[in-house]
């Protein structure tokens, strides 16, 4: 195989090296597109396995979860060191791009940028303002205060977009304001049964119905999304990023990817919080494939075997390469950024 610049120039069995060409012996290796981890919270790398028996709200709630206390009280140099180690770990597992929900406003964005300097990995940074609304503000449809609007506009100049914690922390007015931003928008939705119940109690709408007010490029989790929610996501051209191992680790169920595929959803895969789940896309594909078949008691899709594939990948190689597309070009296509792979 001959590489010309950033592209594959030629493939053949009789290619010979030309004068001054650099040659690499790839025997026993696998050549593939760089993997894309479509959803991470890499900042909490410092808190791996802390509170392993705790539930979702106690562990990672954006306001009351102990994750937030750890991030606020940890030395910034320590945080950056753990973030850097997670990036190196991802590179070693074939991940060349990751999309991170970055807490901490401008300071958190800069911490991630500095931590990835000199590492051959592409961080897509989705920042957030440290502002959340209570139930009364949501029910009263209170808009975002001007101070926080200004803060939002300022940090968007320094990152790739907006990573919204979820619709249950914001009024319709606030979500609609987020929709006006001109960079990437993403939001958690329907991760747990409880979050769906809270949304219906507050507004009479599903969490996904309200999440779509922000006009996101993609929705994260959708573990408890109904078929109607999936249809709405498609109509609004919102992709879905599932995080199956993280959901499993939190005992919150598994996203029904089979139903999503049947509905026509564009699906990508992420590993979510490093504090509860290692950023490894091969493990993610393997887990999703096996658990999906166990849930349905049938093959997810017909496997295609090839004598050219190592045993590790034979377990993942599926009809139309659906799983492999979920960790490569699906999210790049969704964000209109093929440079991710």
Residue 298 lies in a domain: yes
Query: pLDDT value at position 118?
Result: 94
Which structural domain, as residue segments, surrounds residue 288? 35-340
Q: Smallest Cα–Cα separation from 152: which of 143, 161, 139?
A: 161
Burial category of 262 from C-beta neighbours within 10 Å (exposed 0-12, middle 13-18, buried 19 and up): exposed
Q: Smallest Cα–Cα separation from 138: which of 186, 194, 176, 179?
A: 176
- Residue 104 CA to residue 109 CA, distance in Å, equals 7
Mean pLDDT of the chain: 88
Residue 10 lies in a domain: no
Residue 324 lies in a domain: yes
The encoded tokens of residue 77 equal 């140099």
In this predicted structure, the answer to whether residue 152 has a pLDDT above a threshold of 90 is: yes
Regarding predicted confidence, which is higher, 302 or 95? Answer: 95
Residue 25 lies in a domain: no
Q: How would residue 299 be classed by pLDDT, with cut points 50, 70 and 90?
A: low
Q: Smallest Cα–Cα separation from 187: which of 169, 160, 214, 209?
A: 214
Q: How would residue 300 be classed by pLDDT, with cut points 50, 70 and 90?
A: low
Query: pLDDT value at position 203?
Result: 94
Indicate yes or no: pTM above 0.85.
Answer: yes
Rounded (5°) CA angle 83-253-327: 50
Regarding predicted confidence, which is higher, 338 or 271? Answer: 271
For position 288, which CATH number holds? 3.20.20.140
For range 230-241, the mean pLDDT: 97
SS3 content of the chain, % helix, strand, coil (to 5): 45, 15, 40
Residue 211 lies in a domain: yes
Burial 50-77 (b: 16+ CB within 10 A, else e): ebeeeebeebbbbeebebbebbeeeeee
Using the structure block, give the residue that is written with the tokens 């999503």. 260
Range of weakest confidence among 40-54, 167-181, 193-207, 304-318: 304-318
The predicted-structure confidence for 67-92, as pLDDT tens digits, reads as follows 777 778 888 999 999 999 999 999 99
Residue 297 lies in a domain: yes
Number of structural domains found in the chain: 1
Q: Smallest Cα–Cα separation from 104: which of 38, 41, 49, 175?
A: 41
The encoded tokens of residue 40 equal 């991470």
Residue 1 lies in a domain: no
The predicted-structure confidence for 102-132, as pLDDT tens digits, reads as follows 988 899 999 999 999 999 999 999 999 889 9
Element spanning 78, H or E: helix 76-92
Burial category of 182 from C-beta neighbours within 10 Å (exposed 0-12, middle 13-18, buried 19 and up): exposed
Residue 27 lies in a domain: no
Q: If DSSP codes are grouped into helix, strand and coil, which group holds residue 316?
A: coil
In this predicted structure, the answer to whether residue 341 has a pLDDT above a threshold of 70 is: no
The predicted-structure confidence for 172-224, as pLDDT tens digits, reads as follows 999 999 999 999 999 999 999 999 999 999 999 999 999 999 999 999 999 99
In this predicted structure, the answer to whether residue 158 has a pLDDT above a threshold of 50 is: yes
Element spanning 218, H or E: strand 218-221
């Amino acid at each position: 195989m001959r590489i010309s610049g950033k592209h594959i120039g030629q493939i053949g069995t009789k290619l010979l090296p030309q004068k001054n060409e650099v040659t690499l012996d790839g025997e026993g290796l696998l050549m593939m597109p760089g993997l894309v981890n479509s959803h991470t919270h890499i900042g909490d790398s410092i808190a791996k396995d802390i509170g392993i028996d705790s539930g979702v709200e106690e562990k990672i709630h954006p306001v009351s979860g102990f994750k937030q206390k750890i991030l606020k009280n940890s030395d910034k140099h320590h945080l950056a060191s753990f973030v850097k180690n997670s990036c190196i770990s991802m590179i070693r597992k074939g991940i060349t791009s990751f999309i991170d929900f970055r807490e901490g406003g401008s300071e958190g964005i800069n911490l991630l940028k500095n931590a990835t300097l000199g590492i051959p990995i592409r961080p897509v940074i989705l920042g957030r303002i440290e502002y959340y609304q209570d139930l009364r503000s949501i029910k009263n449809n209170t808009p975002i205060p001007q101070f926080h609007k200004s803060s939002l506009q300022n940090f968007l100049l320094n990152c790739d977009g907006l990573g919204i914690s979820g619709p249950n922390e914001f009024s319709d007015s606030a979500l609609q304001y987020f929709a006006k931003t001109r960079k990437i928008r993403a939001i958690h939705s329907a991760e747990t049964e409880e979050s769906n119940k809270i949304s219906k109690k507050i507004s009479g709408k599903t969490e996904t119905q309200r999440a779509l007010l922000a006009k996101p490029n993609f929705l994260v989790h959708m573990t408890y999304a109904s078929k109607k929610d999936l249809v709405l996501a498609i109509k609004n051209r919102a992709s879905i990023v599932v995080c199956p191992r993280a959901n499993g680790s939190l005992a919150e169920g598994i996203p029904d990817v089979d139903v999503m595929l049947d509905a026509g959803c564009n699906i990508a895969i992420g590993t979510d919080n490093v504090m509860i789940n290692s950023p490894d896309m091969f493990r993610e594909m393997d887990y999703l494939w096996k658990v999906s078949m166990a849930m349905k008691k049938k093959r997810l899709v017909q496997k295609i075997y090839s004598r050219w594939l190592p045993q590790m990948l034979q377990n993942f190689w599926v009809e139309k390469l659906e799983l492999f597309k979920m960790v490569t070009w699906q999210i790049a296509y969704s964000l209109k950024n093929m440079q991710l792979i």
